[in-house]
Structure 1
């Protein structure tokens, strides 16, 4: 239900922006100066990198389906298919939605403009470009429709994140790398109750610890660290465990994974310098897990030896 509502809302916005309510003059002005009028220099790179935080966060849950790999039928086929189709569909919708924005709203506007069209993308009320776009298409009253669509999107996102996260704790506990209670399932519902409760408590602490933007910077940087390490693990496992079954081959290996690591590494360096107040603490929090992991693994090995 949530997925259908989210996709339907975005598809409707794309339809409105590209066909029914397209503003020809606005679109012409936006796309004729799409790349700006100034000279592009290397100085623009860190600015673009810092601006990527929001867009990266909006796509960050692309890999969460893998958290439930143990519960997926024929995972060697269905997981890669789900990742490819899901990521491709979301990317297409996001690109088309932004194109729709540029067909409905002028990029530049007046901060004191009387309506959404006058304020444009640059000065959209509370930076809510989607709401401004739907107002141009359907009138000011349509902002309520966008609010409802955002609520559906939020609930859908929460639904996936809340249910997928504890499955990681469950798997860690099964490998004796986390609290033993996290590896227990509810006797009736077969859900990782301890992980769900622990996650809810920690999420609540985070919610009251800073603003949305601050948490965004923490989360995105930490996610980039693990994406980098995941790609690095691909090279390491190919070298150390060439005998492992690999039903799915990494497309473009080794060039594409190497380029991916280069891009992610560059972005992390940019964020460390552009947003140090949040990225450095995020890095320290992630790094603090290394000694904890080593201690837990030592305990697991000791228990295995004594058994």
Structure 2
């Protein structure tokens, strides 16, 4: 495409913005991670409680980000907020991690999740179909499907933000209605009072669940530090199933009346998803015995629920739902992420070509760079490991961003704030305390992931100074 120095054009309304928030959050996690949570905490009350707590702190973070988005209503999102609060180094470290692992790794993982569930309907594109082998490397049909989806969505979004947003709005409405239908069908037709009562009999007994050698259920009571460790592991899955809610802030420059609509869309989108997630887990508990939730095959508790409700047809139904869900999730991720790299490029901290808009006023080069790296991560097969590495780092960046509200209020008290963080200073402080505690617990209990993840972030420091030397030399 011919490239020009155009500016972003505000074309997205409140509905589009809200659907980008909700659609980027809802992927495959709600159909999977409840199994790990159930194994970690053991009780139905704690299972639901983890999702409620996740929803509460996500909404707190979202309404807090509203202040920052109103102060800086332009492309870049968290990169801009961190840069303005702490300086270019911290902003770059976020952008570096965002490109190398967090965002592109998420796009790759969601793409492969789409491919895996497509294989339920078309076994030919499954992981078992190995197309090419060279040493330890294997090219699988599922990887090509994942890459194909990423390329297709990148192409659609390179045509213009309105095209990508229209697709996002449509797909998000479809998956919200589909999830609502699954919840209603489960509670109306699939619910079993005996299962519900049994699940809630010891709802607040905190136990680790395992299976013995003969398949019997083994419960281990948790107390002391192990209690907090179990809560941290459980929260990890729920938090990442609710992640990417801030994606709309990255495209603030393309939202109409961003000072109002960004903050409002963050609130509405996170509230909608929180309600859906909590109701989905209540439906699981009404339909499936807790042991079957905890030990669902490959953690696919959504598949188990659909089989309980619809019988053998349930597998196909849930496969279609997850295909729609992951397709829409990836569209939102691809749409928003490229704007971060565009803004970094305009600061001369990313590839120069990423900072150019095409005729449709979208950063097409940035989109295709993102697509290329995400596709390579699909081929490595290591994206899930990469995502695990940055759990600690993502929490750190969230805490730093919320803390930035306090810093900017102190340093720039006279800067216009069309929207102010709801509940300030108490609610943002609650988020900082909970997220910091979770990060510390993960550092203690999952150091095999958190320490390497921290190393990946720190590797960005020498890269930053190399970029600055190049920038100064060019000047």
What is the CA-CA distance between 1:40 and the residue it aligns to?
A: 5.7
The 3-state SS of whatever aligns with 1:32 is coil
CA deviation string 1:227-267 (max 9, x = no partner): 01101211111111112111111122222222211111111
Alpha-carbon deviation of 1:179? 2.2
Contact preservation (8 Å) 1:104, 1:136 = yes
**Partner residue of 2:455?**
284
Q: Output one character per residue of 1:129-170: Cα deviation in whole Å (capped at 9) or x when no partner.
A: 111011111102221010011011110011011111111111
Query: For residue 410 of structure 2, what is the aligned residue in structure 1?
Result: 239
Distance 2:234 2:395 in 1: 15
How far residue 300 of structure 1 moved from its aligned partner, in angstroms, is: 5.0
Structure with more strand by fraction: 2
What secondary structure sits across from 2:290 in the alignment? coil
Match of 1:112 in 2: none
**More moved, 153-162 vs 33-42:** 33-42
Distance 1:68 1:21 in 2: 41
How do 1:1-307 and structure 2 match up within 5 A? 1-36=170-205, 41-42=223-224, 43-108=226-291, 120-186=292-358, 188-211=359-382, 213-297=384-468
TM-score normalised according to structure 2 size: 0.58
For 1:291 and 1:246, locate their aligned partners in 2 and report how far apart those are by CA, in whole Å: 35
Separation in 2, partners of 1:41, 1:277: 23
Provide the secondary structure at the position in 2 that maps to 1:249. Answer: coil
Moved more, 56-65 or 98-107: 56-65
Partner of 2:159: none
* Distance across 1 between alignment mates of 2:318 and 2:236: 23
1:53–1:216 CA contact under 8 A, matched in 2: no
Q: Does the 8 Å CA contact 2:345/2:351 hold for their aligned counterparts?
A: yes
Shift of the alpha carbon at 1:177?
2.7
Q: Gaps spanning 5+ residues in structure 2: where? A: 1-169, 208-220
Pair 10,165 (structure 1): closer, same or farther in 2 beyond 3 Å? same
The residue number in structure 1 matching 2:216 is: none
CA drift of 1:18 comes to 2.0
Q: Which of 262-271 and 291-300 deviates more?
A: 291-300
Deviates more, 1:196-205 or 1:18-27: 196-205
- Structure 2 counterpart SS, 1:239: helix
1:220 offset after TM fit, Å?
3.1
Determine helix, strand or coil for the equivalent of 1:17.
helix
Give the deviation of 1:268 after TM superposition. Answer: 1.1
What is the aligned residue count? 292
How far residue 289 of structure 1 moved from its aligned partner, in angstroms, is 2.4
Counterparts in 2 of 1:178 and 1:103: CA distance versus 1, 3 Å: same
| Secondary structure of the corresponding residue to residue 73 of structure 1 | coil
Change (3 A) 1:278 1:226: same
State whether residues 53 and 217 of structure 1, in contact with CA within 8 Å, keep that contact through their aligned partners in structure 2: no
| Alpha-carbon shift at residue 65 of structure 1 (Å) | 0.6
Contact 2:232 2:438 in 1 (8 A): yes
Cα shift at 1:33: 1.6
- Structure 2 contact 390–449 (Cα < 8 Å) conserved: no
Residue 53 of structure 1: how far off its partner (Å): 2.2
Q: Which runs of 5+ in 1 are unaligned?
A: 109-119
